[in-house]
Structure 1
Amino acid sequence: MTKSGNITSLFGKSPISPLQKHMKQVHSCIKEFGVFAKAAQSEDWDKAQEARVSIGNKEKKADQLKKKLRMNLPSTFMMPFSRRDLLDVLLIQDSIANITKDLAGLMMTRHMVFPKEFAGDFIKLADLCIKTSASALVAINELDELLETAFSSRERKIVSEMVKKINVLEHDTDVAQNDIRNKLFLLESELPPVDVMFYYRAIEWLGETADAAQKVGSRFEVMLTK
């Protein structure tokens, strides 16, 4: 057996690459939602359905990657963070894909089209959530470099700046959400109550994807301080 083989048998395979692969797949879900949201707002339901199916397939693949990582995660591996930390990040990442699939399903089932007063705002909110997820992906992909440099101060600073960017984007999504809610509140009396309820739910769920991406960054930062 080679030297590297001995190390692998003692400490187990690194879970970093599978974690990064999972986050990449998760991000593809929310990215595809951007396509879905624009198609839905244009009432192009054929295109929206194609995007919804694509989101479902991507979420299913992310779920498979999650299960594979959990099943094959060794109880011991040579990493500067715990198994529990890594599993926490994995579950938070996975929630982005789950929420995205549920949101697309809700909007498709109801053929949800937002009132013109804030339809464009919803598309912009989706774009902000996609950017927040993309920034979380960039941060997770930096984990290799962190390990290779033995968590050098320079690399820690780079990651810290990435996490700050995620936090700023998540804050921007909060502001955008509040703006949409305020516009919806002013229209409530003119809209069917059931539609209003589901509009609020869709806005909330979309914002939760950015919240989850921000939590990925926060948990990652906590891991670096241990």
Structure 2
Amino acid sequence: MTNSDNSLSFTGEYFIPGKSGERIEADHLERYKFACNFVKDKSILDIACGVGYAGPMFIQAGAKNYFGADINNKLIKYAKDNYASEQIGYSIGDICTFRFERKFDLISCFETIEHIKNYKAAIINLYNLLDSGGTLLISSPNRPVTSPNCNSLNDKPSNEFHIQEFIPEELLLLLNENGFSTDKNNLYGQRQRKKVYRNRYIRKIIYTLFGNPDIKTSSVVAPVKELLPRYFVIVALKR
């Protein structure tokens, strides 16, 4: 790793290791640690890869090769300068239109779908990029937690960089309607808390008395059962 470009700074739109705050960094790293359980002997596409720091993680976990794509030229330059190798490559690419010379065994798409206006086109393109029986790992903020005043995909989220935010049921349905196979048994989450936080009045009282509950919750990706996650991850297979 050369560290040849130190000009990147955290804006809230994308993650920069070492510059994004302890909680945000833990959340991002744990998603990729979770993905490492799926990558052995696989050909990987990391769509919206940001600075591409997951490449070495996946190779170390046994991936056959890794390719990262992102729409931001500056991030791709940083990735190439710092992480590229014989098994790791990067390119500029839009999630809705990216093409490649071969299919992938696994695609990771973390904290991206909420930024995409034509999210259905994105899901269809990810399907087309996967080999038969391939795996998609996709995450999203959970709307009731991250944008509690929003009630549907049409409502503007609290985060200025997000176009819409999903609940798990909406994203599960979108995936199943577009060639993937998945269900709630393939649903995982981070920063899980009691569902009482869904009520904004109770949440306001708790925040006032005890502070932000995210500080006391875990960034580790774990199955969603009774608790309400701040971020959720879905594992889906290409039919």
TM-score by length of 1: 0.27
Bigger helix share: 1
TM-score by length of 2: 0.26
Larger-gyration structure (1/2): 1
* Larger RCO (alpha carbons 8 Å, 6+ apart): 1
